[in-house]
Amino acid sequence: MLSFLYARQSGLDDPVRLRRAESTRRVLSLELNHNRDVDRIHGNGINTLDTEVIDGRYMLSGGSDGVIVIYDLENNSKKPQYTCKAICTVGRSSRHVHKFSVETVQWYPHDTGMFVSSSFDKTMKVWDTETLKPAEEFQFDGNVYCHHMSPVARKQSLVAVGTKDPKVQLCDLKSGSRIHILQGHRGEILSVRWSPRYDHILATASTDSRVRIWDVRRASGSLFTLDQHNGDKSKASSEAVNTAHNGRVNGLCFTADGLHLLSTGTDDRMRLWNSGTGENTLVNYGKVVNESRKGLKFTVSRGCSPEFVFVPCGSSVAVYGLHSGELITMLRGHYNNVDCCEFHPDYQELYSGGKDCNILAWVPVLRQPGIEDDETNSKRGGTQAAINPAFEDAWSSDED
């Protein structure tokens, strides 16, 4: 760390390098924080979490009981041990509450005054955060599995919606109407994600084993379909041609720069794709257990080098190296299956929710004050304590 500070001070290094190194160290030291609790409000499993990017302070949760909760993540007590309080709840007593399981919640990307939720009650609701009443409600013919708003769009306010219908719906928040449908899938749409790089690029995943990439400005079909065999028909059976997985594809997540797309399937595989060409990068993550019959909410770190993937895996959260495929660690703490996780890039923290009705906070271990002294002693021939090899690889100084 001292070498990074010196290099930054003297202008030898880009300031971003120090930030990435420390962010990486923090992610690699994540552990369950026993001093931080999150109010237990849900009476049934937690399906979805989302933190807003404006202040980085408020988090949404949606549960199988139809309840939506807003939490304040800030430590207002200033004490080491504290509870993240639920400040607003759309509970069972509210006449606006979803009748069935809430599958996805998402803050409006540019303002905390609005958020969107979708549910198995065949509706998607646009909420006013102040009044906790729906400002708009969209009705669909089947269960709504997922929705997503572009994090970078300024000129359009489209919400992509995945339902039991094979057609992907595009809803316009400005007009309050469904303006377009995307046809091509042959099964239920389990996951939809807008690119964080281009506001017109959309990825969709379905029970038909396919992932399609769309340019919503075009009236024609999808740009391309992801192929796990990269066009090598000798490796694919006749049914597996142009498929991303050998089972239902139930999870999608872009990397922060939008250059890569991750997909998960019920074939117990996770794949990393070049989002520009659709090429399978063939990173081997091994067996990624995935028994979810609905969408799987996993996430990717931001601001680290290298980046990491956090995937619900049974009652644990598996942490993988994004480009290496290496299983770094398993975060264990839930008593039942984990259904969703959300990475907080400001503090390199992770929140996970599961069927045990708990939201757990995974927080980086503070840097020990004597660690620099240990490093100095080791350079002088002293004995150095055992250090996780991943730490050494991530930010060894030029002098080593």
How many domains does the structure of the chain reveal? 1
Q: pLDDT category, 379, cuts 50, 70, 90? A: very low
Q: Is the pLDDT of residue 239 over 70?
A: no
Handedness of CA 251, 256, 261, 264 (dihedral sign): negative
Give the percent of the chain with pLDDT over 70. 86
For residue 344, is pLDDT > 60? yes
Span 204-216, average pLDDT: 95
pLDDT in tens, 350-363: 999 999 999 999 99
Which carries the bigger pLDDT value, residue 148 or residue 391?
148
- pLDDT surpassing 50 at residue 316: yes
Query: Mean pLDDT, to the nearest integer, of 274-297?
Result: 92
Does a structural domain hold residue 69? yes
Cross-strand partners of 321: 308
Alpha helices in the chain (DSSP H): 2-10, 15-28, 371-379, 389-395
Give the structural domain span for 139.
1-364
Pick from 234, 242, 238, 254: nearest CA to 212: 242
Element at 274 (helix H, strand E): strand 269-274
Residue of 376 and 260 predicted with greater confidence:
260
**Cα–Cα distance, 229 to 127 (Å, whole number):** 43
pLDDT band, residue 305 (cuts 50/70/90):
confident
Closest to 295 (Cα-Cα) out of 250, 264, 338: 250
The reported pTM is: 0.88
The answer to whether 362 touches 317, Cβ cutoff 8 Å, is yes
Flag whether 371 is in a domain. Answer: no
| Cβ–Cβ < 8 Å for 399, 4 | no
Taking only the tens place, the pLDDT of each residue in 86-100 is: 999 999 999 999 999
Tell me how far apart the alpha carbons of residues 177 and 165 are, in angstroms, rounded to a whole number. 18
**Tokens (6 digits) for 242:** 């142009």
252 and 263 Cβ atoms separated by less than 8 Å: yes
At residue 123, does pLDDT exceed 70?
yes
Instruction: Give the single-character DSSP code of 365.
Output: P
Confidence check: pLDDT of 381 > 50: no
| Interatomic CA distance for residues 171 and 174, integer angstroms | 9
- In the structure encoding, which two tokens stand for residue 358, read together? 């708990």
pLDDT per position as a tens digit, 146-196: 999 999 988 889 999 999 999 999 999 998 888 899 999 999 999 999 999
Residue 330 sits in a domain whose CATH number is 2.130.10.10
Please give the Cα distance from 243 to 226 (Å, whole number).
6
CB 177 within 8 A of CB 171: yes
Give CA–CA dist 5/17, Å, rounded.
Answer: 10
pLDDT at residue number 154? 85
Across residues 325-341, what is the average pLDDT?
95
Share of the chain above pLDDT 90, in %: 72
* Per-residue tokens: 300: 């990717």
Q: Is there a domain that residue 76 lies in? A: yes
pLDDT band (50, 70, 90) for residue 376: very low
Distance CA 384, CA 46 (A): 43
Q: For residue 397, tell me if it sits in a domain.
A: no
Report if residue 70 sits inside a domain: yes
DSSP tally for the chain: helices H, then strands E: 4, 28
Mean pLDDT along residues 38-47? 94
pLDDT band at 384 (very low <50, low <70, confident <90, very high): very low
Q: Is the pLDDT of residue 300 over 80?
A: yes
Instruction: Enter the tokens of residue 250.
Output: 């139930």
Query: What's the average model confidence in pLDDT over 7-18?
Result: 71
Q: Judge whether residue 259 has pLDDT over 50.
A: yes
Across residues 71-85, what is the average pLDDT? 90
State residue 328's pLDDT score: 96
pLDDT digits (tens, 9 = 90+) for 140-156: 999 999 999 999 988 88
* Mean predicted lDDT score pLDDT of the chain: 88
